[in-house]
Structure 1
Amino acid sequence: MDKRYFVGRTSVTLILAAIIASLSNTLLLAQATGGIIGTIVDETGAALPGADVVAHNTGTGADISTVTATDGTFRMPEVPIGVYSVTARLSGFQTLVRQNIEVLTGRTVDLRLALKVGEIADEIAVVAPTPTVQTSSAEVQETIDSRAMRDLPLNGRNPLQLVVLTPGADFTNAGQFNTPENGGFGPSPGISVNGLHATDNNYQIDGGSFNDTATNAAPQLPNPDALQEFTVKSSNYSAQYSRAGGVVQFSTRSGTNDLHGSLFEFHRNDALDATPFFADDKQKFLRNQWGGTVGGPLVKNRTFYFGSLEFTRRRGSPDIKRLTVPSVAARMGDLSARDTVVVDPLTGEPFSGNRIPPERIHAISAELLELYPVAPDGTDTVFQPLQTDRDEDQLLVRLDHRISDAHQINGRWFHGTVDAQRDTGSPTGILGRPSFDNDFLGIDYNYILSPSLTFTGSFSYSRTETTLSPETPVTLQEVGVEVPLASELTPREMRINPTGFSNLFSGGLLNFIPETYEWRAHLMWSRDDHLLQFGLDVQRKEQDSFDASQGSGQFWFNGDRTSSPDIPNSGDPLADLLLGLPSEFRQRGAAPQAFRENKFHPWIQDTWRIHPTVTLNLGLRYEPWLPATDNISPLGGFLPGAQSVELPDAPEGLVFAGAGISDLPDRSKVFKNDWNNWAPRIGFAWDPFANGKTVVRAGYGIFYRDPNFNLLRDNTQQLPFTAKLVTIFDPPSIEDPFAEMPEGSPFPFEPVPVGELEHFVFERPVTTGAVDPNATQSRVQSWNLTIERELVEGLALSIGYVGNRGINELLATEGNPAVFEPGATNANTNERRVLPGIADVRFVTPAFGKSWYDSLQVRAVRRDTTGRGPNIIANYVYGKAIDISSTGVIGTGSPRDPFNPFLDRGRANFDVTHRANISISYPLPSLNSRGGLAEKLLNHWQVNAIINAQTGTPFTVKAGSNRSLSGVNSDNADLVGDPNVEDPTIERYFNTEAFVLPAPGTTGTAGRNSFEGPGRWVVDFSAFKSVFISGVEAQLRVEAFNLFNHTNFSNPVSNLSNANFGEIQNAETPRVIQLGMKIIF
């Protein structure tokens, strides 16, 4: 889009200048690293001080050296991930070399090396598995290595699918990786870690921040062949890391002294796939994914390169969309087949026979109904193919250079693009065309000042541009709706929402450009029994955005207009639509926004080995919250009782600050800075038997949530600076919702310059969004207690309790609700609101934001280093996540009763009581060693699988309309009987007769998320045959996603006003087969 509507765009020159400045100041952060520690003893177990210890990277030839202390211990705390041999030398003893030591991100390998008396020239080589038990850290984490990422069946080749192998981590929508879009609008699905929100996670590439600041989600990620490993830190991570959810770290591959690489292609088409459960035929589908990697030395033992390319093309989808459409008779006004009573709004009496006379059907409504396809056999269901074409490309380049043994530098650049169609199930076709343009640039530097002192750091830059271009075959204005566009930039849209039927919907024009600049410094000092770390994390976050959605207007029809409080079961959304009488109309203007935020977070961490078997982890992070500002205009706040000084005509409660004005004393912006954000971390790891095979670990910490820029984009739209939002309840007609407003439509609307504020007159009532000016940053207290044991060599089992409590969470609610009184109607909502002159206030406040999570977590891991046995990662979680709202500052999850938000305390939307995940990779034993064709066919096979099983997610039975007449989203139904049925079916999953509409003025007795949908299980499987020719491996692969074609059903329709109430109407993707080939050299 035309960037002249944005200010403060960052040029390439500025980016390069920032990089140069960061290098010149060596204010940097390390690449992905782990650590090696250990003890050197003689044959009697006595400590050996003064021994030389060298860790040699077998891939790059780099060495790290140290000397044992007086107690025989040594530390190498900052070791780049990879495979090492560790050599111990001491005069009077034979040299010992421990080979095949694998260092993973964030994990410290603890070695116990016993030297034998003899000549130092005598060398003993020992090959033994890397210890599987972490004995020096209280962190709870899971690391997935490169072999698992490349071998396991990944739907869409997205490595994030493996996050479920971390206990307590799962997708907020369990079936996201069994959909063609793999997450919906963006490339990344939502992930909840230990019951926290998907927006609480921190995604990193080689230590650099890679978060979409608009959503706090991960942008497009490198493909699994470009990654060395990834790690999920899920609980009680060190003070080095921020945010409250999981820390998800992706480590890119690097070149080595040997040339290595791969070529690959994966193919799918509908001929190999199963038929969707609710469809009669398969859908047209074609998907090809191809690319390659290459890495090696530019200068042996000194300079290395690595590159990766991947291209994806998809046409069609194996899934279908299910449309709920009006019957032919209903389109003509005959609603006699429906269960509701249709009341004539002119007479207050039911229409005869539930039939609306043809002359009463509004002409615009008749045209809108023509957009719905006709269902066969008199049903209300039509199946159509999903339109989800998608083109996705990505490039990764990495360079590593060892200046000397003390100085190393590396950098990487990742670029990815996605162009797609988005189809969310509207009869009018695709919602729009989203596109994504992602960049990540990181430069790392490492300086070993001495064997006990290391300085490391990095500069990184990320940019994740998102654009949605709307498409619709017909617009509201083309069917006769007399609503002027909000601005000259507003595209024409179609937005009709009748409860119980598929929406006629097109997307708006959206453009977000989030950018993050990050500098980190990290000093590590090993002294006696302490490993001290000092760090500084500095971030500059920017987001230029433009949102023109709802600029054409949006209508809701929920049955209120054809209902009567004196007639039970009255009101029909379709009847409202036929009469052209909406229950609600909204229109929003469009204005550019330019958010800016700075972060300055110092931290300190001490790993203190108070005893050979006990290590304390002590940390403190300081995270002052310096809320963002808008570089274009002031932001609005909501402070009941306050009167604006800058805008004297503003209704009471609306205040403004920023861009040179302020209604708040001693404050240049609408939020106050929160300086009291201390984040302590404390934990211990105890090796009770002093053999490295058993560890007891526990930890506690305080972590702060990092609000994304949606906090501002969606909740500070206040006159007269930014987009004007108009809400009209019970507008007179669909043709002209502004007909009864004396001033008519306020659109097109132009923001008022700051110099003209004094004379601005507000048109009442004012609809707005605002944030509590006294809001503080949300925080989470997290803890864990875990026992881990190595049962046999390479096999470890852990069991633990993990919990957390969230407080002061920023949640959206109705800030100016309407009070119910005799004679209350939807039309007089604004007259009954608590504060006069103000209509709807989307108010974000920490006043009632709380969450609770408790879980039992069991984990088993078998890591094979011989190449002959299975690699297994398995976990089981029994837990419960509870909150007030699961949608945070966005979405439609406001508490149904704004006077008592805690009434909505219930299971989180993504809560799952029981969940189990297993991954296995198994090289099959050789079946023939006689040579010839039999050996070629029968040997070198490997099978792999990922198994997910879980109980259902919760849902709420909704009334479908605002029965409480409070001006809030729809209320819940009343529960008047036993909702359970003896044998649930997809036609009747629960007892629909147990629910009725609540009485006017009440919010419903059915609890939020008090009912549970069907459970799910799925097996993804792959098998490949390797053929070796002159050092080159060719893999022939076949992969099956949902191998057994098990039907995993979605939750039932839970809206009481929907004609399909109680039915299950959707299911996840059926079995999909993928063929692939890899050439590895």
Structure 2
Amino acid sequence: LLTGAASPMPQFSALNNTWQVAGQVSWTHTFSSNTLNDFTAGLSRVEGVLGSGAKDYTVPSISVNGINADGGQAYGVGFAQGDFIQHNYHWRDVLTHVKGTHTLKFGYEGWYGDDVEPFQGPWSQPKFSFNNLLALAQDAPTNEGGIMYNPATGTQQLWNWDAAARTFGLFVEDTWKARRNLTLTLGLRYDDSGNPWSRSASTVFGNFYLGTGNSVEQQIANGYAKGTHNALLHSVNNLFSPRLGFAWDPTGNGDWVVRGGFGIYNNWLTSANVQEEFRGSPPGLVMPTFFAGGTATAQAPIFVLGNSSKPPFGFVFPTFQGGLNAQGGVVGTNFSIGGINPHLKSPKADIWSVSVERKISRVFAASVGYSGSHSYDIVGNGNAIGLVSYGVDINVQPGDLITHQSIAPTRLNPSFGSISYADNNRYGNYNAIFFDFKGRSSRGFIDFSYTRSRSKDDALAYPTPFNPSAYYGPSIFDVPNRFSLSWNYSLKGFKDRGAAVRRLSGGWGLSGTTIFQSGYPFTAQNFNSYNPICADTSPGAPTCPSTANPAVGYAPGSGDYNADGNNLDYPDAVSYHQLTDNKAWLTGAIPKSDFALPAFGQGGNEKSNLFRQPNFFETNINLYKDTAITERVNFQFRFEVFNLFNRANYANPDVNFPDGNFGAATASHEPRFWQLGGRISF
């Protein structure tokens, strides 16, 4: 599979090549008329090389505040020549036995997989941040990072990673026809989610362990990094998941049916969730951040071009003082590390539902239902859609940059930079009521449904990692209203005419779908770095900021309102008003007058996810004709129109508050288009 899109600068356009080989075998054996065994085993190998085939790898990755091309990266290839390889082996066996009114199932499944990452290209291409275009023109980056270093020598080193994990589970299920009008399903599952391990000397699991202290902040300040063979102190095991379901016909004549159930579900912490955060953690290779001006133990950024198309691309890299201190880090180098609670638990969800369905006539039925869930022990930032969650940065202290009059954070634990720590400290809730009306006849069907729901959690990354429940609000996938309609109708044709007429008029049909749903929620945020105004702005003034020239306010476009060194902050919200006209998304549906700058050094008061992205409305239709070529061969012609009413469905609004494009959509779904197709089935 070859994917990729053109870059705004052609020399940085690159492709993503992915190869996959997969196979599966199954064996079903019938022991007797009431006993059956089904065994399945499969394997797959996936390899992908990202950011390949670009014309130029000598330009580093460059991000400039206020420029939102390529996701904020204005220059450079990005994930240059990043190779990944994964092997997956899966096997499953289920024994089914019918005894009287009971259908019993007993099962086992196992999995083994690895994670091989020769990310030599991506982590030898420097990443520079600039406050503005003038700073870029002056070759004055705020910081440099993205490079792997040997912590013993303080010099750049190419990267390689090789880890593996295994899991297994057992289950038993009984589907019991308790009465003529009552069926119960009882189940129990046991899981062991495993404990990933390192398979090579270059793959070092360097975990961060909390130290002593009366508060979380003190424990972070006294924490330390240490190598370990396995990711956790023990497997995430003893996971029992009981489940109960029922289907009841209260009248016994098939006109009514009541369904419901309850279950406890354990969420598998994937190998990526549990071990990939150790990439860049000492005593293995580390990824320092070098700040303008340098520190006592680390050089300043070196902003130069490379001279090669192969890693490390001929760049000149800054160095830092090698050797680790008693906490397993180096003061002043700001290398970002990962950590995970060594006693990490499986996230859980209690899920329940009940519904009532009524047959209205021979062809129509209607139903109403309720479903809900409570999720707990969620890992911080675990609801990031499409991303592997490595937790949230806990090595922060509000006001850090102001207290130390610096643009480089000192942090709670100065032996490290950011510490992305995964812990079970989040929760969520979901409630929904749904209505459905459906009908079916010999010539077609119709299904109309509406769902009113609410989903809330505190499972994202926020301006501060402490007290996440203060940010409890709508989930990023919360859709309060969703309507859907699907239908199909086969035309009768002229069966009493000649053969030619019957053949031409028969087999025609129409089908279609309509979907409307509310927009997803979002929060106005500021991803820009700290850029202060200092007391003395005259020519020749002391360095800004410094003890001799302290910061007194925010410069235009500045971020990091709470001055903790993390570029994720909320403004003050004076209103949550937004424009409702769909066309407003072209220029910005969220007025900037809704917001104000927080007091200097303070975080904003905006609540999480109270704004809404564009809603979605689309109707698709399909005209088709089935023609029997022979008794066993059929040809179907299809004429399909997507987005029939050509409704503009905007998407991905710019949520970075300082941007000039803030509140405006940066993408859209497909406009109206049609296609012709044919299919032969036999």
Is TM > 0.5 for Structure 1 vs Structure 2? yes
Q: Assess if the C-alpha contact under 8 Å between 2:400 and 2:409 holds in 1.
A: no
Counterpart in 2 of 1:582? 141
SS in 2 for 1:1057: coil
Q: Cα offset for 1:546? A: 2.6
Paired with 2:19 and 2:580, the residues of 1 have a C-alpha distance of 51
Counterpart of 1:1070 in structure 2 is 671
Taking structure 1 as reference, are residues 638 and 760 closer, same or farther at Cα in structure 2, changes over 3 Å only? Answer: closer
The Cα of 1:895 is off from its aligned counterpart by 1.6
Aligned counterpart, 1:870: 444
What is the match of residue 769 of structure 1? 338
- Could you give the per-residue CA deviations for residues 488-540 of structure 1, whole angstroms, max 9, x where no partner exists? xxxxx533343343232523222222222222222222223322221111221
1:710 and 1:1030, CA in 2 relative to 1: closer, same or farther beyond 3 A?
closer
Call closer, same or farther: CA 1:954–1:1079 in 2, change over 3 Å.
same
TM superposition shift of 1:797: 3.0
Letter in 1 for 2:668: A
Q: Say whether residues 1:950 and 2:509 are aligned partners.
A: no
Instruction: Tell whether 2:596 aligns with 1:1028.
Output: no
Residues 758, 855 of structure 1: alpha-carbon distance in 2 compared, 3 angstrom cutoff: closer
Residue of structure 1 in register with 2:371 after alignment: 802
Match of 1:436 in 2: 18
- Match of 2:664, SS state, is coil
Counterpart pick for 1:1061 among 652, 658, 662 = 662
Quickly say closer, same or farther: Cα 1:824–1:979, change in 2 above 3 A. farther
What corresponds to 2:312 in structure 1? none
Q: 1:836 to 1:758 in 2, by over 3 A?
A: closer
Q: Is the 2:291–2:408 contact (alpha carbons within 8 Å) kept by the matching residues of 1?
A: yes
**Structure-to-structure mapping, 1:26-175, within 5 angstroms:** none
Q: How far has the Cα of 1:714 moved from its partner?
A: 4.1
Distance 2:525 2:197 in 1: 37
Is residue 729–residue 827 contact of structure 1 (8 Å, CA) maintained in 2? no
Distance 1:426 1:906 in 2: 37
Mapped pair 1:1004 → 2:604 = yes
- 1:423-822 aligned at under 5 Å gives the runs 423=6, 426-428=8-10, 432-475=14-57, 477-478=58-59, 493-502=60-69, 503-504=73-74, 505-506=76-77, 507-547=79-119, 548-557=121-130, 559=131, 573-589=132-148, 590-632=158-200, 633-641=203-211, 653-659=223-229, 669-712=231-274, 714-720=276-282, 722-730=284-292, 737=301, 745-746=318-319, 762=330, 764-765=332-333, 766-793=335-362, 795-811=364-380, 812-820=391-399
How far, CA to CA, are the matches of 2:246 and 2:501 in structure 1? 55
Q: Distance in 2 between matches of 1:638 and 1:469?
A: 31
- TM-aligned CA deviation for residue 1018 of structure 1: 0.9
Are positions 1:859 and 2:436 aligned together?
A: yes
Distance 1:829 1:1036, change over 3 A: same
CA distance in 2, matches of 1:448, 1:612: 28
SS of alignment partner, residue 818 of structure 1:
coil
Larger CA Rg, structure 1 vs 2 = 1
Q: What letter corresponds to residue 570 of structure 2 in structure 1?
A: N
The Cα of 1:1064 is off from its aligned counterpart by: 3.4
Match of 2:427 in 1: 850
Q: Which structure exhibits the higher relative contact order, with contacts defined as CA atoms closer than 8 Å and separated by 6 or more residues?
A: 1
Shift in CA distance, 957/757, structure 1 to aligned 2, threshold 3 Å: closer
The worse-fitting range, judged by mean Cα deviation, of 914-923 and 775-784 is 914-923
Q: Does 1:883 align with 2:457?
A: yes
What letter is aligned with 1:1019?
T
Q: Which amino acid aligns with 1:728?
A: F
Quote the Cα distance in structure 2 between the aligned partners of 1:965 and 1:975: 19
Provide the residue aligned with 1:975 in structure 2. 573
Asked if 2 retains the 8 angstrom alpha-carbon contact of 1:727 and 1:840, the reply is no
Q: Could you list the per-position Cα deviations for residues 794-847 of structure 1 after superposition, in whole angstroms to 9, with x for gaps in the alignment? A: 54433211111111112211121124168347835432x212322211112112
1:586 Cα offset (Å):
1.9
Structure 1 pair 705/937, CA: closer, same or farther in 2 (3 Å)? Answer: same
1:1079 maps to 2:638:
no
Structure 1 residue 624, shift from structure 2 partner: 2.4
Secondary structure at 1:608's aligned position in 2? strand
CA distances 1:6-64 after superposition (whole Å, capped 9, x unpaired)? xxxxxxxxxxxxxxxxxxxxxxxxxxxxxxxxxxxxxxxxxxxxxxxxxxxxxxxxxxx
SS of aligned partner of 1:838: coil
CA distance in 2, matches of 1:1041, 1:1056: 34
TM-score by length of 1: 0.52
Secondary structure at the residue paired with 1:1004? coil
Per-residue deviation, 1:927: 5.0
Unaligned runs of 5+ in 2: 149-157, 214-219, 304-315, 381-390, 528-558
Secondary structure of the residue aligned to 1:792 is coil
Q: How far apart are residue 465 of structure 1 and its match?
A: 2.5
Q: 1:671 deviation in Å?
A: 4.1
The partner residue of 1:989 within 578, 589, 593 is 589
**1:623/1:497 CA distance change after superposition, 3 Å:** farther
Cα drift, residue 1013 of structure 1:
2.1
CA distance change for structure 1 residues 711 and 947 in 2, over 3 Å: closer, same or farther? same
Residue type at the aligned position of 1:1000: F
Greater Cα shift, 930-939 or 1021-1030: 930-939
Q: Distance in 2 between matches of 1:964 and 1:857?
A: 43
For residue 913 of structure 1, what is the aligned residue in structure 2? 480
* In structure 2, C-alpha distance between the alignment counterparts of 1:928 and 1:974, rounded to whole Å: 71
RMSD: 3.3
Task: Supply the AA of the counterpart residue of 1:460.
Answer: G
TM-score by length of 2: 0.80
Q: Distance in 2 between matches of 1:709 and 1:951?
A: 34
Query: Which residue identity lines up with residue 1010 of structure 1 in the other structure?
Result: L
Distance 1:681 1:600 in 2: 19
**What one-letter code is carried by the residue in structure 2 that aligns with 1:549?**
P
Specify the code of the residue in structure 1 equivalent to 2:615: G
Q: How much has 1:757 moved relative to structure 2?
A: 12
Distance 1:761 1:956 in 2: 35
Query: CA 1:474/1:522 → structure 2, altered by over 3 Å: closer, same or farther?
Result: closer
Q: How does 1:161-560 map to 2 (within 5 A)?
A: 418-423=1-6, 426-428=8-10, 432-475=14-57, 477-478=58-59, 493-502=60-69, 503-504=73-74, 505-506=76-77, 507-547=79-119, 548-557=121-130, 559=131
What is the alpha-carbon distance in structure 1 between the residues aligned to residue 498 and residue 439 of structure 2? 32
SS in 2 for 1:1045: coil
Q: 1:827 aligned to 2:406?
A: yes
Structure 2 distance, partners of 1:905, 1:1045, is 37
Gaps of 5+ in 1: 1-417, 479-492, 560-572, 644-649, 660-667, 887-893
- CA shift in 2, pair 1:577/1:1003, >3 Å: farther
**Offset at 1:859?**
3.4
Q: For 2:607, give the aligned amino acid.
A: G
**Structure 2 CA distance, aligned partners of 1:842 and 1:830?**
16
The 3 A distance-change label for structure 1 pair 772 and 509 is farther
Number of positions where the alignment pairs a residue of Structure 1 with one of Structure 2: 599
Q: Specify whether residues 1029 and 983 from structure 1 end up closer, same or farther in structure 2 by C-alpha distance, changes over 3 A only.
A: closer
Q: Given the alignment, which residue of 479, 483, 490 partners 1:923?
A: 490
Contact kept in structure 2, 1:685 and 1:696, CA below 8 Å: yes
CA contact (8 A) 1:618 1:681 kept: yes
Distance in structure 2 (CA, Å) of the matches to 1:1023 and 1:747: 67
Structure 1 residue aligned with 2:537:
none
Sequence identity of aligned pairs in percent? 23
